[in-house]
Structure 1
Amino acid sequence: SMEGADLGDLFSEILGRRGGGGGGGGGGGFGGFSQKGADVRAKLEIDLEDTIHGAKKRIAFSDGRTIDVTIPKGAEEGQTLRLKGQGSPGRSGPGDAFIELVVRPHAIFRREGDALVMDLPVTIPDAVLGGKVEARTPDGAVTLTVPKGANSGQSLRLKGRGLSDSRGKRGDLLARIVLMLPEKPDAELEAFAERWRKERPYTPKKK
């Protein structure tokens, strides 16, 4: 019948295009899907503060193109951002760009699990008597109160000054106390320590 002939011609044309034959069939139909542009991949270095506050960065590709990348709050080391349509151009549309984030090590802050931690240098007088110490946070400098009798390893918690999660909610910053001796030898301090060691020896508690 006529309908059967039409269907036969249709299947022949489809099979011909799939097989690469059929004369001028290569420019459209099924072959067109293979003409999408290639995906591109790149690594982007960011600062710890960028993962906390969010940021916009510009990245350049080897072909001379540049694109702007939005760093979301709560971004993490090794996270890959997919930018649709930002890959190489193609006949049926561009590919995508995949940007892997690399967080630079910070001079002050470090990540321990979900917590943001920093060392807080404290002098012996401030540790023994208590005192005020200025500390840097991702949001600027603050003044912390060191309690009387503070020890190395003890942490002061700064609420809402830590890392961001994917919703932008901030965690806490832990300022870990580190007792610091004077940079230069002090004869009076040494004499005091010698007298204390003889008169009031003690054994530090093991954690």
Structure 2
Amino acid sequence: GQGIPGFGGGPAGDAYVELHVAPHAFFQRKDDNIHVEVPITLKEAVLGGRIEVPTIGGTVSMTVPKGSNTGKTLRLRDKGVRNRKTGAAGHQIVTLKVVLPEGEEPELAAFLESWQPASPDEPRKEMLS
């Protein structure tokens, strides 16, 4: 009944509102959970430490465990979207992405050239067998 009046004095029609929601630059919603990919430095990945993470409610501090790799997921409990029916909040799922430093790092390169891992990994083993 919020539209324009009908022809010949008929009742008002309905008004339709169409909304378009653009995707967020880094948050993705899946059900009540919010997913975000967070870049971390090589040092943070290897040694662990506290980092600042954006949430839909503001920035929070979280711990990156030692030895974290790209793709590791961490959960921020109750930092997702509140469910209208249950009232329970979803979680924020943080996926870590190791990012190498911009530009040259001669000390890092020299270290890696001389480094011999205690247990050498073959990260592509499953792909090539």
Alignment partner, residue 146 of structure 1: 64
- Once the two structures are TM-superposed, the CA of residue 113 in structure 1 deviates from its matched residue by 5.5
Alignment partner, residue 203 of structure 1: 122
- Asked if structure 1 preserves the Cα contact closer than 8 Å seen for 2:81 and 2:90, the reply is yes
Q: Does 1:185 align with 2:109?
A: no
- Once the two structures are TM-superposed, the CA of residue 93 in structure 1 deviates from its matched residue by 2.5
Gaps of 5+ in 2: none
Alignment partner, residue 175 of structure 1: 94
Structure 1 SS opposite 2:121: coil
Alignment partner, residue 87 of structure 1: 3
Instruction: Identify which of 64, 73, 94 aligns with 1:155.
Output: 73
Q: Percent identity?
A: 43
Counting only pairs closer than 5 Å after superposition, residues 1-207 of structure 1 correspond to structure 2 as 85-90=1-6, 91-112=9-30, 115-167=33-85, 169-196=88-115, 199-200=116-117, 201-204=120-123
Instruction: Write the distance in 1 (CA, Å) between the matches of 2:89 and 2:11.
Output: 40
Question: If you compute each CA radius of gyration, which structure gives the higher value, 1 or 2?
Answer: 1
User: 1:181 corresponds to which letter in structure 2?
Assistant: L
- Once the two structures are TM-superposed, the CA of residue 185 in structure 1 deviates from its matched residue by 1.2
The structure with the greater share of residues assigned to helix is: 1
Q: Report 1 or 2 for greater relative contact order, CA contacts < 8 Å, sequence distance ≥ 6.
A: 2
Q: TM-score with structure 2 length normalisation?
A: 0.81
- Once the two structures are TM-superposed, the CA of residue 180 in structure 1 deviates from its matched residue by 1.0
Instruction: Write the distance in 2 (CA, Å) between the matches of 1:171 and 1:112.
Output: 10
Q: TM-score with structure 1 length normalisation?
A: 0.53
* Runs of 4+, deviation exceeding 6 Å: none
Structure 1 SS opposite 2:107: helix
User: 1:204 corresponds to which letter in structure 2?
Assistant: P
Structure 2 SS opposite 1:98: coil
Structure 1 SS opposite 2:19: strand
